[in-house]
Structure 1
């Protein structure tokens, strides 16, 4: 009669778990995957050992993580939002884009990029269907870090409305409102017209909102315009240009506001011959983008459509 072979060693206490898990993953073929997951497991286990959650707290945490996926759909990306408000998105951004080569500082993509903005001509207005609000006349150049103009660079632009809503959140706005793609001329110049965006609260009707309320944090973002600037032979720049008061910038809920990205928006209270036909009050802004050499790479849009 055969006997069941006794195992050489089994887990006997909490201090054994990490080494058992790491040993189980040791044969991973992809070295980068092995390095990432090894570090992840090591730090997660250390976190659990340090905080020592109760079983009820552990269950609550798992439900919160599951709710991130349940609240992610074609018009809302709760997973990206969670990474943003925990500062992870900005940290990853700064690890990969330090701004030390003379290029324009980057900023996080955010959860509202769609990626299918209408193609526009220079000077076109992205505020469609009579979107109300003070007009902004925005212009600038795209150059290399050496100042040489980059012709045929692409600028993908999107923003919130003057009431703080992206068009996918707002049934009163036409599809793809306040979004547009522009191309620089041979001098690297671009121009477009829009309306002044407002600061706004990030969505708070999901698990991220529950977390912010538990932390007594304001959910606000300062007013800004998003840009993805790209050109052949250059690294794609994902950034934002901000204009708001100091307190709003300092209290950005996703930690995205950076001093070099605060734009010089000028208010015009009377007619200005430099802007023929512009009805006061209106705003003007000039901002130049500098790209470093590299391979263009484009983000996967976090959302695809409007809120139903």
Structure 2
């Protein structure tokens, strides 16, 4: 592992994720909360906790350990990490229950809006000699009725060969392996990048202590992130994984779906190629 990897601490990553969430997700005027919905959801969550305590006869020692851990999650800035890893996949499942087009999955904590615009055939910004297997990722964006969606946007972001994300780990250029690809007049795209590596969620903070205490593993499989959008259509947020890759079958974030697994084919020059099309639902 590189010095950069060693410096990507849970505290730094958690702080970055929290700051980014507060900027991007809560910066717009909020809607007035529906009191009835708040009552229903909050009561259900609290009641579920009560049921766990009664069912498993939790002790005061265990209660105080939980209390201490919840405080440390906030101090470490790891609420985005905890919620995105263990909770978001169920929210996404409910939100996408009626989707007819391509499958989506969780966004995760590492999305950054405003990535540089790129033409439909392009390479993601990367360092000279960027480590990793070169990958040509190509396909077409269409509507549910099969019509091409010219100018569709594919926001792409991914970890590098060390499992690190630009803007969340030190020493990496700001937009490394991040870009907004503008599909051609037939909705087509062909993006050159590198295959990302699996990565651990940060383990030196509160979430890592939970993983260790429960005997879980902290790994996510290698994946490409995308947000695919077009006027008049619902935005699709998804992740694409790699067949046979480590942790595809036991992702710590439970975000893998069979429809999201790529199977690249080696081609001349050591470049892996894969075609994957996106179908967007009407808004």
> What's the TM-score once normalised by structure 1's chain length?
0.75
| SS, match of residue 63 in structure 1 | helix
Match 1:32 to one of 27, 30, 37? 37
Q: CA distance change for structure 1 residues 262 and 55 in 2, over 3 Å: closer, same or farther?
A: same
Q: 2:123 maps to what in 1?
A: 125
Q: CA distance change for structure 1 residues 36 and 194 in 2, over 3 Å: closer, same or farther?
A: same
Match 1:59 to one of 60, 64, 84? 64
Q: CA distance change for structure 1 residues 97 and 256 in 2, over 3 Å: closer, same or farther?
A: same
Q: CA distance change for structure 1 residues 172 and 29 in 2, over 3 Å: closer, same or farther?
A: closer
Q: Equivalents in 2 of 1:212, 1:197: separation in Å?
A: 23
Q: Is the 8 A contact 1:101 1:145 kept in 2?
A: no
1:224 shift after superposition: 0.9
Q: Equivalents in 2 of 1:244, 1:163: separation in Å?
A: 19
> Between Structure 1 and Structure 2, which shows a larger proportion of helix residues?
2
Please report the RMSD computed on the Cα atoms of aligned residues, expressed in angstroms.
2.0
Q: 2:148 maps to what in 1?
A: 149
Q: Equivalents in 2 of 1:257, 1:225: separation in Å?
A: 12
Q: 1:167 maps to what in 2?
A: 166
Q: Deviations over 1:159-212 (max 9, x none)?
A: 011122112344332112110001122211122111111111111111111111
Q: 2:274 maps to what in 1?
A: 285
Q: Equivalents in 2 of 1:250, 1:200: separation in Å?
A: 15
Q: Is the 8 A contact 2:198 2:246 kept in 1?
A: no
1:125 shift after superposition: 1.6
Q: 1:80 maps to what in 2?
A: 80
Q: Equivalents in 2 of 1:115, 1:215: separation in Å?
A: 35
Larger Rg: 1
| SS, match of residue 162 in structure 1 | coil
Number of aligned residues: 250
- Which structure 1 segments of 5+ residues have no match? 1-27, 73-77, 271-279, 295-308
Q: 1:197 maps to what in 2?
A: 196
- Which structure 2 segments of 5+ residues have no match? 1-32
1:260 shift after superposition: 0.4
1:67 shift after superposition: 1.7
Q: 2:251 maps to what in 1?
A: 252
